[in-house]
Amino acid sequence: MNALPRAAELGLIGCHVCGLVCRDAHAAAGAAEVVACPRCGVALHRRKPASYSRTWALLIAAFIMYIPANVVPIMRTASLNDIDDNTIISGVVELWKNGSPNLAIIVFTASIVVPMLKFLALGTLLVSSRRGSNWARQQRAGLYRLVELVGYWSMLDVFVVSLLTALVRFSVLSRVEPLPGVIYFGLTVVLTMLASMSFDPRLIWDGKDTDD
């Protein structure tokens, strides 16, 4: 398994958009300008540009949004004599108590576990790749694939609040209104998606090569 050549070593680049394998003209010519993929015209990069700093920036921005997303209520249920504000977690608890525990677990996973997983996973990947660590590379590669796969399911709660807002409008009897928490949460999801897109998983394999 240790005779697996990598594109950068062979002077090749795989286009990140169309997948075409190109000779790295950049390296050959020693030119400073960016070379475009001959098939799709997108600029070729050996690695995603400024992957560490972009991913860190987006991840930190996402985390800053994530705090009000959890503290500030996301939804208000108003009826004749009662106003009830729900945060993400109190919504899960309510669903658990008088709805369905199974669905509560799904919402808990999408709204709490997945964002936390993204913060922890991307943070771990950033730190370990920066160090050039060869610790659990296979598993880290799998972790990145998991983050990419589940990332967008976090939008679940945003859609739930939106749908309830549109549906529950019985004048004074009963109304649902979105509260600012849902905006912060929506932004958190978008920012974490952008963060995982700007991380370059090839960095996991770029460090010291002490192959087993």
Partner 1 sequence: MGTTSEALIVCEHCDTVHQRLALSRGEVARCARCGKVLQRHYRLSTNAMLALIVTALIVFVQANMWPIVMLGLSGQHSSSTLWGVIIAMWREDAGIVSVLVAATLFFLPLLKMLQLGWLLWFARQGRRAPGFVPMMVGLHYLNPWTMSEVFVLGALVAIVKAHTYFDVTPEPGIYAYAVLTVLITVFAGIDLRQLWRTPEVAA
Q: For partner 1, which residue of 42, 57, 72, 112 counts as binding (CB under 8 A)? A: 42
Using alpha carbons only, what angle is made at residue 142 by residues 140 and 146, rounded to the nearest 5 degrees?
A: 115
In a 13 Å sphere around the CA of 193, the CA atoms on its Cβ side amount to 13
Residue listed under structure tokens 């952008």: 194
- List binders of partner 1 among 91-130 (CB under 8 A): 91, 94-95, 98-100, 103, 106-107, 110
CB of 25 to partner 1, least distance (A): 7
**Cα Rg of the chain, angstroms:** 22
CB of 60 to partner 1, least distance (A): 20
Of 109, 74, 84, which is closest to residue 184 (Cα–Cα)? 74
CB of 6 to partner 1, least distance (A): 5
Stretch that binds partner 1, among 38-46, 61-69, 118-126, 127-135 (CB under 8 A): 38-46
145 CA to centre of own chain: 11
CA distance 45 to 35: 8
| Backbone phi, psi, residue 86, to 5° | -115, 135
Q: Which is nearer to partner 1, 123 or 177 (CB)?
A: 177
Is 45 one of the binding residues for partner 1 (CB under 8 A)? no
Stretch that binds partner 1, among 33-41, 56-64, 65-73, 113-121 (CB under 8 A): 33-41
Is 169 one of the binding residues for partner 1 (CB under 8 A)? yes
CA distance 49 to 169: 48
- List binders of partner 1 among 55-94 (CB under 8 A): 91, 94
CB of 35 to partner 1, least distance (A): 10
Q: For partner 1, which residue of 34, 50, 127, 145 counts as binding (CB under 8 A)? A: 145
CB of 56 to partner 1, least distance (A): 20
Tokens of 107: 């919402």
Tokens of 143: 């972790």
CA distance 198 to 192: 10
Q: For partner 1, which residue of 69, 114, 147, 193 counts as binding (CB under 8 A)? A: 193
Is 6 one of the binding residues for partner 1 (CB under 8 A)? yes
Is 187 one of the binding residues for partner 1 (CB under 8 A)? yes
CA distance 112 to 88: 8
